[in-house]
Chains A and B, each alone.
Chain A
């Protein structure tokens, strides 16, 4: 019992760090997803090319390379980021690029008639985007977003390689001190697994909530 306590206390401390990283990068990644996803469909070529460049670079290279680049390479051109900032920035930029493709795909999946109807009733482009297109696209985005949230949670483990004391880092530390490899890593894997299940459950609730909200909004419009 005492052994278990000694094992779990550091791991749970690491878990809170992992949770904070996952939540922060999910939030920032979500914002980036919408910015770059909508930007890729923008009429302004500069915005469009910036979005495409961002998406291709961050989807085309490894997250670990991005993280090491931000942490080890940037100081050489005078930008020194603390590990937390570099970690969250790398995670957010990476997952945001994947999310942007989801946002773009969902927006393009909204039927053409919706745009035509919006033009017919003289809605502005911005109003059409926010009140007609995005609510419908959001419902489509939620299942792939659920996968990305879990992907991002798993990715947070990489911050241990830039010396942030997350769950994986604590597990490594504990192993180095005690050589009790099997219990440490088994417990660590299960903690990640339960976190992933919890994140999936929350995303599913959110998905249902959004579907109901959008459904209600449409019903009211029809009445």
Chain B
């Protein structure tokens, strides 16, 4: 019994049907971790991208180093680092939260790059025109640069969302009961790994294909000329 649901091992089909609701509970945790992780990555990435652009080298260089470091080291080791090191400093978080933070930090390295590339892709002429009109930098960003950067940024962020969804499986290494860990638990209890693991693969495939087509749909619907901010 898991999450109050009994399973039936009389046949593979009966087993698959009976554990489906249990796996869906795991999938729900997977989705929650992805949403929270992405929220952290979006905000932290923006802060880091802005710090990276600060004209003071004492700020921009350490930020650039941090971003490179975070991107080039494995999520699993970063996760262990947070999971085992934070308690040493008296910060005791539930495994789920530590996992979401680890996802957020790793992906902030990618989102920061997406923000930077999106802003740099806006043609120089736009800046020059704003300067010619005597527009201050804040207004230029708000009304000229950011609206034109958004259509480039959103699809790229969407792809990272899909990628993060798949990476949440790594949280199983620190006891988070997301979909893969639920399947492993079912396998440990019944010695039937094949059915739950195959179902997890199938569920991941369905969810990521749906999420990717949503991203593609968004990409097609976004006006390429820009989105005005009110």
Residues of A within 8 A of B (CB): 56-57, 59-66, 68-69, 72-77, 150, 154-158, 160-161, 168, 171-172, 175, 181-182, 185-186, 188-189, 192-193, 196-197
Q: Does B16 contact A (CB under 8 A)?
A: no
Structural contact, B200 and A158, CB atoms closer than 8 A? no
Contact string, B51-80, partner A, CB cutoff 8 A, digits 1/0?
000000000000000000100111111101
Q: Which residues of B lie under 8 Å from residue A75 when comparing CB positions?
A: 193
Number of A-B contacts (CB under 8 A): 109
Q: Cβ of B77 and Cβ of A168 under 8 Å apart?
A: yes
- B131 adjacent to chain A (CB < 8 Å): no
Contact (A154, B172) CB under 8 Å given A60-B204, A62-B204, A65-B200: no
Given A56-B209, A65-B201, A193-B69, check contact A72 B76 (CB 8 Å): no
Interface residues on B, range: 20 to 34
Question: Smallest CB–CB gap between A179 and chain B, Å?
Answer: 9
- Residue of A with least CB distance to B200: A65
Which residues of B come within 8 Å of A, CB atoms? 69, 72-78, 80-81, 84-85, 88, 166-170, 172-173, 180, 184, 187, 192-194, 197-198, 200-201, 204-205, 208-209
Contacts A60-B209, A61-B205, A182-B85 known; list 11 others, CB within 8 Å: A59-B208, A61-B208, A72-B184, A76-B194, A77-B194, A150-B72, A158-B76, A168-B76, A185-B84, A189-B69, A197-B72
Determine if A73 and B197 form an interchain contact, defined as CB atoms under 8 angstroms apart: yes
Closest B-chain residue to A154, C-beta based?
B74
Bound form: Cα–Cα A64–B169 in Å: 7
